[in-house]
Amino acid sequence: MFVYRVPNKDRDAMQKLLKDIADLLMRHGTLYSEFYRVHSPEAFQGFTSILNTFSSTPDEELWIELDHYRGRSHRDQAMAGIGKDPSAGLLFKQLRGLVSEGYSIVMAELDSLRM
């Protein structure tokens, strides 16, 4: 999972870039990627909006990316291939240039809870 703060003015560029990154991931074995934009600051009483947690401003959008793999070893194989792909460095450099200034991309590795 990745969380991005994206300036509103860069929405179209970020959308195109994330499509290119998703294509890169798929070429190296990622099953699929999903992208979400948090569209409302609303939260239930006693809850906190994720927009507040990430300190986004009215001039920004909060985007979330979920990349799917069969498991940890599958993810590791995909990442190894991406690390060797000459186009990856340029794409990720462009990504860092499109997130809000001073913001570090947040990432987390998630496991599915089967209930």
* CATH classification number, 2-107, choose in 3.30.70.100, 3.40.50.300, 1.10.1200.30, 3.40.50.11260: 3.30.70.100
Average pLDDT taken over every residue of the chain: 93
Phi and psi angles of residue 98, each rounded to the nearest 5 degrees, phi first? -95, -20
pLDDT in tens, 96-107: 999 998 888 999
> What are the counts of helices (DSSP H) followed by strands (DSSP E) for the chain?
4, 4
User: Average pLDDT for residues 42-70, to the nearest whole number?
Assistant: 91
Q: Where are the domains of the chain?
A: 2-107
Cα gap 64→40, rounded to integer Å:
14
**pTM for the structure as a whole:** 0.89
Band of pLDDT at residue 42, cut at 50, 70 and 90: confident
